[in-house]
A and B are shown apart, each in its own frame.
Chain A
Amino acid sequence: MIDLVWLIPLLPFIGFLINGLGRNILPKPLIGTIASLAVIGSFAISLSIFLTFDAAQPQVIHLFDWINVGSLSIPFAFQIDQLSIMMLLIITGIGSLIHIYSAGYMSHDAGFGKFFAYLNLFVFFMLLLVMGSNYVIMFIGWEGVGLCSYLLIGFWYSNGAYADAAKKAFIMNRIGDLGFLLGVFLIISTFGSVSFTEIFPKAAGMVSGDATLILITILLFIGATGKSAQLPLFTWLPDAMAGPTPVSALIHAATMVTAGIYMIARSNILFALSPVTLDIIAVVGLLTAVVAAFIALTQTDIKKVLAYSTVSQLGYMFLGLGVGAFTGAFFHVLTHAFFKALLFLGAGSVIHAMSNEQDMRNMGGLRKKLPVTFLTMLIGTIAIAGLPPFAGFFSKDEILAHVYEHNKLLWIIGLFGAFLTAAYMFRMMFLTFWGNFRGTEDQKHHLHESPVSMTFPLIVLAILSMVGGFMGVPHALGGHHWLNEYLGPVLAASNNILPALSLEHATEYMLMGLSVGGVIISIIIAYVKYVSKGYVPKEEELQSGINKLSYNKLYLDELYTAIIQKPLDILSTFFFKVVDKSGIDGLVNGLGKVSIEASKTLRLLQTGNVGFYIFAMVIGIVAVLVYSFIII
């Protein structure tokens, strides 16, 4: 079965070609079917590989030689190991569900064919990213998903703000990509190779804290901050909600944004040997988690809340990576993919029902009208808040347990962030589904549950969100942490370096109790505020006090404008007006003027008198002869 691995990325690519070329010819149902089948096919192959794969070593499937320059050889090859198999399952599995969902959600859109072509192209690049057996192929996928992200955020490009959001995402990603690229170059110069199977054994023999390794990992991490929306490059992700909701679910929650975590988990040995980088990652992740959670508290756009929640959860994953909990972070990637895709798709269902209304202040009381959406979203919310036995509880607590062992201060802040998570997520639920309907009569009349093609993925994802956590039940709760064992071969080298978790079971119970208790208190506070008191945030209240800071996203966009864009503008204006206009143009025009003036004078030498010409010629010949025979 592993021989068919090249089919996994190829199927979505074929889907992209068919849909891209036939987007205006093929009927809509056919387009949706082709696109979905392509991804489902990939999922089937991935699943069969998952079921049959039992090698301890990564399997490299060499397709063809791609670049051979000097001693550097970059093959086009795929690497299949436990890590990439899990990513394949997520991408193709959730990808399939979202394709099915999109067939219903986008059915009224004029760009139906284009949308599915982009979506398939995205899946292709994402698969390339996780399957590549070296950093260069990973980089192709890395850039490709960035491109698709750009295309899909700006899907409704006729809206200027959406197009701007797309550009913002693209440019911010580019900053990170530069770091990634530099990291890859440094890897090439350090190890003389880009293949994982050659680099990692070499790296494992290096000293912990090697300066080159630290530089490499920091550069790679800069790449990850761009793609995975961490401080200071996270502001593109909330704006990316301009894209269609299934895109937000697939790209900006479940898969693409986890590429950074995947990349770090893939290079775990490099990071395990760079304690400095790990500390930086932990701090950045934690800051991102708390800041994004703080901003999410006052957002009124349902998708913005989810976007900031995504940023916050990604922050937790980086926090986990930073404290060496690679399994925990990857576990959170999996569970987060389930419940965040679910929440986004649920939000999409709500928006669909509300005729493209996204402001929660105009919703309320929807649980009767949209029972399936409500129930599934509730499951997703509980899962993200971290109540047992739903998925988020296990993964988040594993990360927090590692953080607790690593540093108590980080743990307290992280725990506080977890409470915030519960608070803003339930705030969103209460505002949307409880209370009275606050929209217009038209919207109320139009309210309806979504079609089966949309509710089916919701139900599947809800089930996954409920049971997904059992992949990694900790020993303290009587499990044996299947995921940890499964990923063992991939992480073996770094597990030898990093200290294993050595908490007492009693301590773990205490940690779990604390977080569950705090979460429940947060939920109760939210319930009292938004349900019992029926509070609905008003514009003027959001613009005062601490709310103002949160509502305006800590003024980060304004800050970036002030410290980066404005100076660049001034510099560009300076170069344009002074250096270019008067400097370079002056030089060019000056040369022209000098030649014109000089020729006006010199042409008077051309008397037309042949005798004079001959005389000048003789003088010239004499000069040449003198120069060549006498002087030299």
Chain B
Amino acid sequence: MSLFYVVAFLSIIFALLVIFTKNPVHSVLYLIATFFTFTIHYIILNAQFLAVVNFIVYMGAIMVLFLFVLMLMNLNKDTEPMKSTLLKVVGAIAGGCLLVTLVGSMKTLSSASTTAMDNTGIGLVENLGKVLFSDFLLPFELSSILLLAAMVGAVLLAKRDNKTA
């Protein structure tokens, strides 16, 4: 039980570090740490498939992509001009308002179903696979098209235009 709170605390700390670190490369590294804590959360929730996917896709693929782009642009210095203090305070207050609102809206939820945890193992690969390839077969196939389109789009955007160059 205390494991959850420790990991949750770490998640929040790392998330804060992501946005308040000046060096972008450090930010990416903290983000990876945050995602690692998320993976632990997934394991705690018995969502093993998601834990694996999160580990591979987010921490592996996506974060490498971020780092790769940062290296490509040679931005691993504190080159970013920061916003004025006033704007930072205003932004923080706006975010705080959002948090207060979200937490406040939690009160409207009924607290009855808070601890009914099941042990059926729906997050296991076998069970999830069955659902994914029966009920969600069409969205699954469509998502492949999405990924293909994203790939083509990314290549097209990032390609250096020979005519203007």
Report yes or no: A619 in contact with B94, Cβ–Cβ below 8 A. Answer: yes
Q: Is the CB of A615 within 8 A of B101?
A: no
Which of B95, B101, B102 has the largest number of chain A CB atoms within 10 A?
B101
Whether the pair A621, B98 counts as a contact (CB closer than 8 A) is: yes
For B79-119 the 0/1 string (1 means CB < 8 A from A) is 00001000100110011011001101100100000000000
- Complex: A621 Cα to B97 Cα, angstroms: 10
A626 CB contacts on chain B under 8 angstroms = 101
Which A residues are CB-close (under 8 A) to B98? 618, 621-622, 625
B95 touches A629 (CB 8 A): no
**How far does the alpha carbon of A626 sit from the alpha carbon of B95 in the complex, in Å?**
13
What CA separation (Å) do A625 and B105 show in the bound complex?
8
Question: Does residue A630 face the partner (Cβ distance < 8 Å to B)?
Answer: yes
Q: Is B97 a contact of A630 with CB atoms below 8 Å? A: no
Docked Cα-Cα span, A226 to B138, in Å, equals 74
Q: Which residue of B lies closest to A624 (CB)?
A: B101
**CB-CB nearest in chain B for A621:** B98
A630:B104 contact, CB within 8 angstroms: yes
- The smallest C-beta distance from A93 to any residue of chain B, in angstroms, reads 81
Q: Is the interface of A mostly helix, strand, loop or mixed?
A: helix
Q: How far is the CB of B97 from chain A (nearest CB, A)?
A: 5
User: CA–CA, A621 to B98, complex, Å?
Assistant: 8
Residue pair B90, A629 in contact (C-beta under 8 Å): no
A1 to B97, CA, bound (A): 94
B97 in contact with A622 (CB, 8 Å): yes
Whether A622 pairs with B94 at a CB distance below 8 angstroms is yes
Selected from B90, B95, B101, the residue in CB contact (under 8 A) with A625 is: B101
Known A-B contacts A621-B98, A622-B97; the reply to A615 vs B91 at CB < 8 A is: yes
| Interface residue range, chain A | 10 to 19
Q: Taking chain B's interface residues, is the majority helix, strand, or loop, or is none over half, making it mixed?
A: helix
Of all chain B residues, the one with the shortest Cβ separation from A626 is B101
CB distance from B134 to the nearest CB of A (A): 35
CB distance from A629 to the nearest CB of B (A): 3
A599-626 residues with Cβ-Cβ distance < 8 A to B are: 611, 615, 618-619, 621-622, 625-626
Distance between Cα atoms of A621 and B101 in the complex (Å): 10
Query: When the two chains form their complex, are residues B91 and A622 in contact, meaning their CB atoms are under 8 A apart?
Result: no
Q: Which one of B83, B91, B94, B108 has the highest number of Cβ atoms from chain A below 10 Å of its Cβ?
A: B94
Task: Report how far A47 CA is from B102 CA in the complex, Å.
Answer: 94
Q: Which of A611, A619, A625 contacts B102 (CB 8 A)?
A: A625
Residue-wise, chain A 576-619 has the 8 Å CB interface mask toward B (1 for contact) of: 00000000000000000000000000000000000100010011
What is the CA–CA distance of A273 and B101 in the complex, to the nearest angstrom? 79
How many whole Å from B112's CB to the nearest CB in chain A? 19
Residue contact A629 to B105, C-beta cutoff 8 Å: yes
User: For residue B109, which residue of chain A has the nearest CB?
Assistant: A629
Distance in angstroms between the alpha carbons of A625 and B99 in the assembled complex: 11
Question: Bound complex: CA of A618 vs CA of B97, how far in Å?
Answer: 10
Complex formed: what's the CA distance from A629 to B105 in Å? 5
B94: nearest chain-A partner, CB-CB: A618
How many whole Å from A515's CB to the nearest CB in chain B? 99
* B106 → A minimal CB distance (Å): 9
Cross-chain contact B105 with A630 (CB below 8 angstroms): yes
With a CB–CB cut-off of 8 A, which chain A residues contact B94? 615, 618-619, 622
Contact A629 B104, beta carbon cutoff 8 Å: yes
How far is A125 from B113 in the complex, measured between Cα atoms in Å? 81
Shortest CB-to-CB span from B99 to chain A, Å, is 10
Query: How long is the Cα–Cα vector from A619 to B91 in the complex, in angstroms?
Result: 10
Contacts of A611 on B, CB cut-off 8 Å?
83, 87
Residue of A nearest to B90 (CB): A615
Q: How far is the CB of A584 from chain B (nearest CB, A)?
A: 45
Contacting residues, chain B, for A621 (C-beta < 8 A): 98
**Could you mark each residue 56-93 of chain B with 1 if its beta carbon is under 8 Å from any beta carbon of chain A, else 0?**
00000000000000000000000000010001001100
For A615, the chain B residues whose CB sits under 8 A away are: 90-91, 94
**How far apart are the CA atoms of A618 and B94 in the complex, in Å?**
7
| B105 / chain A contacts, CB cutoff of 8 Å | 625, 629-630
Looking at the assembled complex, report how far the CB atom of A145 sits from the nearest CB atom of chain B, in whole angstroms. 69
* CA gap between A621 and B91 in the complex, in Å: 14
Q: Which of chain A's residues have a CB closer than 8 A to the CB of B95?
A: 618
* Minimum CB distance partner of B98 in chain A: A622
CB-defined contacts of B87 to chain A, threshold 8 Å: 611
CB nearest neighbor in A for B83: A611
Min Cβ gap B62→A in Å is 22
How far apart are the CA atoms of A618 and B102 in the complex, in Å? 13
In the complex, residue of chain B having the shortest beta-carbon distance to the beta carbon of A628: B105
The distance from the CB of A206 to the nearest CB of chain B, in whole angstroms, is 68
Give residues 382-410 of A contacting B (CB, 8 Å). none
Residues of chain A within 8 A of B104, CB atoms compared: 629-630
Extra contacts besides A615-B91, A615-B94 (17): CB < 8 Å: A611-B87, A615-B90, A618-B94, A618-B95, A618-B98, A619-B94, A622-B94, A622-B98, A622-B101, A625-B98, A625-B101, A625-B105, A626-B101, A629-B101, A629-B105, A630-B101, A630-B105
Can you list 13 A-B contacts (CB < 8 A)? A611-B87, A615-B90, A615-B91, A615-B94, A618-B95, A618-B98, A622-B94, A625-B101, A625-B102, A625-B105, A629-B105, A630-B101, A630-B104
Q: Chain A interface (Cβ within 8 Å of chain B)?
A: 611, 615, 618-619, 621-622, 625-626, 629-630
Interface residues of B (CB under 8 A from A): 83, 87, 90-91, 94-95, 97-98, 101-102, 104-105, 108
